[in-house]
Each structure stands twice: as C-alpha cells, then as structure tokens.
Chain A
Amino acid sequence: MSMQALFGQLLVGLINGSFYAMLSLGLAIIFGLLGIVNIAQGAFYMLGGFVTWMLLNYAGIGYFWSLLLVPIIVGLIGAAIEKTLLKKIYNLDHMYGLLLTFGIMMFIQGMFVHFFATAGRPYTVPSALTGGYNLGFMFLPKYRGWVVLASLVLCLVTWYAIEKTSIGRTLRAATENPTLTRAFGVNVPALMTIGFGIGVALAGAAGVLAAPIYPVSPLMGAELIITVFAVVVVGGMGSIMGAIVTSLMLGLLEGLTKVVYPQGSNMVIFVIMLIVLLVRPAGLFGRER
C-alpha cells in the first residue's frame, strides 16, 4: 500500500468527517434547545445542495454567493417550519418530534424526487478552487482542502459563539432551564425558532460545500443522515465540541479502514456505535441522566 493511497483515504475521511461535523453540530443545538431529534437534518443538507444548484442554473448565481445565501434561505425555511409545525408538539413526548421531522424529511425529499427525479446533477468546482497542490507525500485538490478548512472554521465559529458570546450564554441557559430563562425576560420561544434555523442552516451550508464533490440529488441527504446519527450516538448529544471532535475522528477512522480493510469501511462507524452503546450508553461526551 502506498503512502499516496493512505493519505488520499485519510483526506476523504477528513472530508466526510467535516460533513458529519456540520450536520451533527446542528443536531446537537436543535436537540438541546427544542428536545427534538431532527431526522430531517439530511433533507436540509440536500436542500442546501439543491438550492445551490438551482441558484446557478436558474438565476446565474455562483458558488460563493450561494455559500452566503443558501444557509440563510435554508435557515429561514427551517424557522418557518419551526413556527408552524414543531412548536405545536413541544408539550408531547419526544417520539412525536421524531415522527414529525421524519414526515418533514419524507415530504421535502419526495417533492424533489417528484420534480427532479433521483439522478445526480453535477456542479462544477468554482474556478478559483480548481487545481491543487503537490505536497510531496500526496496530491491535495484545492477544493477538498477548502471543504475541510471551511467546515472547520464554521464549526469553530459556531462553538465560539455558543461558549463565549452573550447570545450563546442565553442559548445555553435556555437549553438548561427554559422556564426560568423566560421568567428572566428572555423570549425563549423566539430563541427556539432561531436555534432551529441556525441548526438547519449548518446543514444547508454543508450542502453548498458538498455540491461540487457529490452529485446533487434528492437522496444525497438520506444516505448521509444514517451515518450522522451513528456519529451522534457515539459522541452523545450533550456537547458541541464533542460532536465536532467525534465527527472528525470517525471520518478519519472510516478513511483508515478503507486502506487497511476496505470491506469494513461502511460498517466501522456502526461497529463503534454498538460498542459505545454497550459500554457508555450516553455517548463519549454525553452526560448520563
């Protein structure tokens, strides 16, 4: 096995890990604040990819503008869904949130399958990010490096905003004790709308980054979300940094498995999930309740 192949697979792993990170980070924020396991997170990722494709093909709006606009669009769609649908079920059992977001996922996905069929649509890498660097031990395509960098920056900015700013402080307080936080004069229901919007906007941003790598297709999220949920089970829902670190580690591990035991690469995250469930059911970074 060559060094080239090893580092090549580790890079693929890191990229996958970056996508896991953006999606699981959003899931963690949403679960913390709303108590809802958002099964539809993959559909919002797909929506991000598709809106990027549509902006280019229907409106001539390019990649970098999409990087800014698409998360906003996806976030607003999410906020509207929270305000009209999700807020009606907060008083019910967690299971209803699961079912409702499952329905939302099927609806969004079904709409796109209906209008666009399931075939993947290519999206060209923006010219500023074509080409690559020869690092000696491997060739690094510029765009792949960009995806890892952009998602790391996005995750760290989100982490910083939550842990170190006054808005993040309010968000953490509302997550821990929403009733008391309201009694201090914080508009927690509005915060929940915003939190859901931000959570799915992260998935939307991941969709933009994915468009030039994976073909844009209505089912692109459905495949990813299953792995992302396994990642979330391993990391535990409790911690933002935990979600980021677990995602990148599992992505790398997946890449490594592709080199040493290719047949196992699709399974390895699920095997780890089973082990973690047996040994530490709350997840590596989760808190036991």
Chain B
Amino acid sequence: MSDQRVLTVDNVTGHYGDSHILHGVSMHVNEGEVVTIIGRNGAGKTTLLRAIMGILTKRGGSIVVRGQETIALPPERIARLGIGYVPEERGIYATLDVTENLMLPPRVAAGGMSLDDIYKLFPNLYERRRSPGTRLSGGEQQMLAIARVLRTGAKFLLLDEPTEGLAPVIVQQIGATIELMKRQGMTLILVEQNFRFASRLADRHYVMEHGQIVDVIDRAQVQARMDSIKSYLGI
C-alpha cells in the first residue's frame, strides 16, 4: 500500500511564454506520503505545482496521476482525478462569501468533509461565514483555502507555501491541520520556505534550483545533511 504511486512526474518542462522555467523535473509521491519541495524564491516550485494542475499551459514531459497520463488533459479533468489545490496566492473569491467559497469546488471523490465538520474544525471561519472572502485576515484566508479542498473529498493535496507571511500561532494551527490530514492518510505535496515547519511533517524533501530537482533528502537524513539544506535555502 505505502509504495502505491499517486504521482509520477517525469522529465517535465514548463514555459511562461518564451521564458523556459522548468528544465526536466522528475519526482514522485506515494500514497499517504507528505513530500516537500524546497528551494529559494524563483526556483520554480509554484510553476511545478501549476504544471501538475495543468494551469501552466506550456508544459511537456509526462505527469501521471493515479495511473492516468495528464499531460494533455485540461485542468478540470486533472482536478477530477482527486487533486485539491491550495495556491500560493490563496485564490479566495471576493465575489463569494465564506460559505460560498467553501461550497464552490465540486466534489471530486467520495468522503469529503461536510460543511458542518469544516466549521467545527475552523470555528473562526464559522464566525465569518457571511463575510466576503477577501475581508478575512491573511490567516483566515489561508484556513479557508485549505478548508475549501477538504470538502471536495480530494485525497491528494498540493499546498503552496501555506505558512507564508503568517503569525506563529496561525502557523501552528496550520501545522496541526496538516498533521490531521496526514493521519487521515492523505497524500500531500507541500511547498515551503519554512524548513523547520516542513521538516516536522515531511517524509521526503525535493530540493529545487533553477527549474530542476537537484537533491532528494529523506526524513532520516535531515539531521546529517542540515548544512547542505541550509546552503540550498540560503539560510
């Protein structure tokens, strides 16, 4: 069970217009794993997630999700393979209130949380349920972006810098939520700058530089390889 493939990315290239961003990325994620993609700003982490979702339109190579080749599929078909996307910019709809934001994504698999369950897990969102999505604080918006994909039943989530710019207490809350997802057997790709945060959750780290994966570090090697990790991240 544990080495069942959820995602195989093979030699993936990606462009924005004429600029070549991804130069042959290969990686994989197995069922129930939490995998991070780390690397400096501008390395191409967000672009890789956008390529996986199919919203980066100029992409090549092979991306297989649960046995299905997706490189030629439109984003709506890829999402329906059971992927939940939490984008870096959070993507909260201003013209929808909090409840509408939660209800928007269609269910893509059985077993998603109900609205009631979500509001129990995130009581502060319940308090703001009639507010337009963009009136929320940064932390609340991030909670909403995560809660939104929990309703869809997706068991494979892509989270792009969920802790970026948030206060420590909120980072802790998000960490607890991710741990909960992991315990429920979800499969996660986590893009993070905050390595201390990422290392507590992840089974494996992919290091990205200039649009390529330059290193893979297993959980067990993290302590031994701390120096090279620090130099990869420039900290």
Q: Which residues of A contact B (CB under 8 A)?
A: 166, 169-170, 172-173, 175-177, 179-189
Task: List the B side residues contacting A169 at CB < 8 Å.
Answer: 96, 100, 103-104
Q: How many pairs of residues, A versus B, come closer than 8 Å at their CB atoms?
A: 61
25 A-B residue pairs with Cβ-Cβ distance under 8 Å, sorted by A, are: A166-B103, A169-B104, A170-B104, A172-B93, A172-B96, A173-B95, A173-B96, A176-B93, A176-B94, A176-B95, A176-B96, A177-B93, A179-B75, A180-B87, A181-B104, A182-B55, A183-B76, A183-B78, A184-B79, A184-B104, A184-B105, A185-B76, A186-B106, A187-B76, A188-B76
Is B76 in contact with A175, judged by CB distance below 8 angstroms? Answer: no
A-B interface, 3 closest residue pairs, ranked by CB to CB distance from nearest: A185-B79, A184-B105, A182-B75
Q: In the complex, how many angstroms separate the beta carbon of A240 from the nearest chain B beta carbon?
A: 11
| B85 contacts the other chain (CB 8 A) | yes
- A169-B104, A170-B104, A173-B104 are known contacts. Are A183 and B85 too (CB-CB below 8 A)? yes
Q: Which of A166, A175, A176, A185 has the most CB of B within 10 A?
A: A185
CB-contact partner of B108 in A170, A176, A179, A185, under 8 A: A185
| B80 contacts the other chain (CB 8 A) | yes
Task: List the A side residues contacting B152 at CB < 8 Å.
Answer: 184-185
| B185 contacts the other chain (CB 8 A) | no
Is B106 in contact with A184, judged by CB distance below 8 angstroms? Answer: yes
Provide the main secondary structure of the chain A interface.
helix
Task: List the B side residues contacting A184 at CB < 8 Å.
Answer: 76, 79, 85, 104-106, 152
| B37 contacts the other chain (CB 8 A) | no
Provide the main secondary structure of the chain B interface.
loop
Complex: how many Å from CA A179 to CA B56?
10
Task: List the B side residues contacting A175 at CB < 8 Å.
Answer: 95
B144-202 residues at the A interface, CB under 8 angstroms: 152
CB-contact partner of A185 in B80, B93, B95, under 8 A: B80
CB-contact partner of B79 in A173, A176, A177, A182, under 8 A: A182
Is B93 in contact with A182, judged by CB distance below 8 angstroms? Answer: no
Is A183 in contact with B53, judged by CB distance below 8 angstroms? Answer: yes
| B74 contacts the other chain (CB 8 A) | yes
Task: List the A side residues contacting B104 at CB < 8 Å.
Answer: 169-170, 173, 181, 184
In the complex, per-residue mask of B101-118: 1 if CB is within 8 Å of any chain A CB, else 0: 001111010000000000
Is B76 in contact with A186, judged by CB distance below 8 angstroms? Answer: yes
Complex: how many Å from CA A173 to CA B91?
10
Q: Across the two chains, which residue of chain A brings its CB closest to B91?
A: A180
Is A179 in contact with B80, judged by CB distance below 8 angstroms? Answer: no
Complex: how many Å from CA A132 to CA B80?
56
Task: List the A side residues contacting B105 at CB < 8 Å.
Answer: 184-186
Task: List the A side residues contacting B76 at CB < 8 Å.
Answer: 182-188
Complex: how many Å from CA A176 to CA B93?
7
Q: Which of B78, B85, B93, B106 has the most CB of A within 10 A?
A: B93
Q: Across the two chains, which residue of chain A brings its CB closest to B108?
A: A185
Q: Across the two chains, which residue of chain B brings its CB closest to A185?
A: B79
Q: In the complex, how many angstroms separate the beta carbon of A269 from the nearest chain B beta carbon?
A: 28
Q: In the complex, how many angstroms separate the beta carbon of B129 from the nearest chain A beta carbon?
A: 14
Q: In the complex, how many angstroms separate the beta carbon of B141 from the nearest chain A beta carbon?
A: 14
Is A183 in contact with B96, judged by CB distance below 8 angstroms? Answer: no
- A169-B100, A186-B76 are known contacts. Are A179 and B94 too (CB-CB below 8 A)? no
Complex: how many Å from CA A170 to CA B79?
16
Task: List the A side residues contacting B79 at CB < 8 Å.
Answer: 182-185
Q: Across the two chains, which residue of chain A brings its CB closest to B54?
A: A183
Q: In the complex, how many angstroms separate the beta carbon of B134 from the nearest chain A beta carbon?
A: 10
Complex: how many Å from CA A177 to CA B55?
12
Complex: how many Å from CA A184 to CA B75?
8
Q: In the complex, how many angstroms separate the beta carbon of B16 from the nearest chain A beta carbon?
A: 13
Complex: how many Å from CA A187 to CA B121?
30
In the complex, per-residue mask of B70-86: 1 if CB is within 8 Å of any chain A CB, else 0: 00001110111000010
- A169-B100, A173-B104 are known contacts. Are A183 and B95 too (CB-CB below 8 A)? no
Task: List the B side residues contacting A182 at CB < 8 Å.
Answer: 55, 74-76, 79
Task: List the B side residues contacting A188 at CB < 8 Å.
Answer: 76
Q: Which of A181, A184, A186, A187 has the most CB of B within 10 A?
A: A184
Q: In the complex, how many angstroms separate the beta carbon of B68 from the nearest chain A beta carbon?
A: 14
- A183-B53, A183-B55, A184-B79 are known contacts. Are A172 and B106 too (CB-CB below 8 A)? no
In the complex, per-residue mask of B36-76: 1 if CB is within 8 Å of any chain A CB, else 0: 00000000000000000111000000000000000000111
- A169-B96, A169-B100, A179-B75 are known contacts. Are A185 and B91 too (CB-CB below 8 A)? no
Is B75 in contact with A177, judged by CB distance below 8 angstroms? Answer: no
Q: In the complex, how many angstroms separate the beta carbon of B147 from the nearest chain A beta carbon?
A: 13
Q: In the complex, how many angstroms separate the beta carbon of B120 from the nearest chain A beta carbon?
A: 23
Q: In the complex, how many angstroms separate the beta carbon of B154 from the nearest chain A beta carbon?
A: 9
